[in-house]
Amino acid sequence: MKASFLLACSIIILAACQKEKKSTAAALKMQEFIIGISDYARSIDSDFIIVPQNGEALAYTNANPDGELNLNFLNSIDGFGVEEIFYNGDLSIDTYRLQMLQEISATKKVMVSEYLLDNNNVADAINRNYNEGFLCFPRVSSNYDYVLIPDSVIQENSNPILQLSDAQNYLYLISNSNYSTKQEMIDAIAATNFDVIIIDAFFEEDIFTASEIAQLKTKSNGAQRLVLAYMSVGSAENYRYYWQEKWRLHKPNWLKKKYDGYKDEIWVEYWNQEWKDIIYGNDNSYIKKIIDAGFDGTYLDNVEAYYFLYYKN
């Protein structure tokens, strides 16, 4: 009985080690992927802003937070977006990720979206983040899916925002469900004084035009601001322009794993050349469409795909 138990434990440990090795290898491929996106975008617009969301370990050599920061990777980005550092519903401090972000924030802007069930905790969430030098977007329960423009702007100012490091606040609004037309959404955003705007590049299936995005690049008080386009690079979304109906029955082998909680998305092997070609490197790529639409940069979601593909069950 004891020998059988030890064998079972060994198998479990071996399986866990294999998962961790695959996850680390995939993390390094995500580092390369993001660097490739950045290199391509900046070959067209040298000031193009790149902000990955989550996956903080990517900032380190070998994706190992116990090691040194990866300067090659950090030089390819302008900031780091994250969700739920201090609040995930209630106060729940993620000390492991916080320690990484404290180190990253020495050279890169950190943008934190906090999720709060109790509106009375908004001020505390803001204070905790700004004490660390992070920007904060307090996302209350009615705004779980980033559908609302908050009534007030944190640290509102009339400064021109020429680069991400200038920003003191941001708006994260990637759903257009509250607006019947693009212009209605544009007018609502244009009336605000947020320093940075994050929106989807598309309104339903219609991409924003350069003239439309130009309307968003000035705060209501007249100062310049930045507009970033949301783009998922670790998952494919079946409502995007690139999706092919035949994939529902005969999916390519790089469409890998169901994205729990998001029925319209699937995790991808982002190192596959077909997926890379969808995202960057050619005139029909997603990033080229974003550049042509006049966005100042892009906000890359689901970069932690490396973890969900190979480590988490």
Check which CATH number belongs to the domain holding 109 and give it: 3.20.20
- pLDDT above 70 covers what percent of the chain? 92
* 79-119 pLDDT, tens digit each: 999 999 999 999 999 999 999 999 999 999 999 999 999 99
**Does 299 map to a domain?**
yes
Lowest mean pLDDT among 7-16, 238-247, 257-266: 7-16
pTM, 2 dp: 0.92
3-class SS at 81? strand
Q: Is residue 4 very low, low, confident or very high in pLDDT (cuts 50, 70, 90)?
A: low
Helix (H) or strand (E) holding 286: helix 286-292
- pLDDT above 90 covers what percent of the chain? 86
* Number of compact structural domains in the chain: 1
Mean pLDDT rounded to a whole number for the chain: 92
**Does 140 map to a domain?**
yes
Report residue 310 as tokens. Answer: 């190979």
Q: Is the pLDDT of residue 188 over 90?
A: yes
Predicted confidence at residue 106, as pLDDT, reads: 95
* 17-33 pLDDT, tens digit each: 455 667 789 999 999 99
**Does 207 map to a domain?**
yes
**Does 42 map to a domain?**
yes
Q: Is the pLDDT of residue 150 over 60?
A: yes
Kindly give, in sequence order, each residue whose CB lies less than 8 Å from that of residue 64, ignoring residues fewer than 6 positions away. Answer: 24, 57
| Cβ atoms of 228 and 296 closer than 8 Å | yes
Q: Is the pLDDT of residue 207 over 90?
A: yes
Lowest mean pLDDT among 5-14, 21-30, 151-160: 5-14
For residues 286-299, give the mean pLDDT. 98
**Does 4 map to a domain?**
no
**Does 18 map to a domain?**
yes
Q: Is the pLDDT of residue 8 over 50?
A: no
Q: How far is Cα 309 from Cα 178, in angstroms, rounded to an integer?
A: 33
Predicted confidence at residue 22, as pLDDT, reads: 73
Predicted confidence at residue 1, as pLDDT, reads: 52
β-bridge partners, 172: 198
The torsion of the CA quartet 23, 29, 30, 31, rounded to 10 degrees, works out to: 120
Domain with 204 in it: 14-310
Q: How far is residue 302 CA from its own chain's centroid?
A: 6
**Does 3 map to a domain?**
no
**Does 82 map to a domain?**
yes
* 219-261 pLDDT, tens digit each: 999 999 999 999 999 999 999 999 998 998 888 999 998 899 8
Q: How far is residue 250 CA from its own chain's centroid?
A: 29
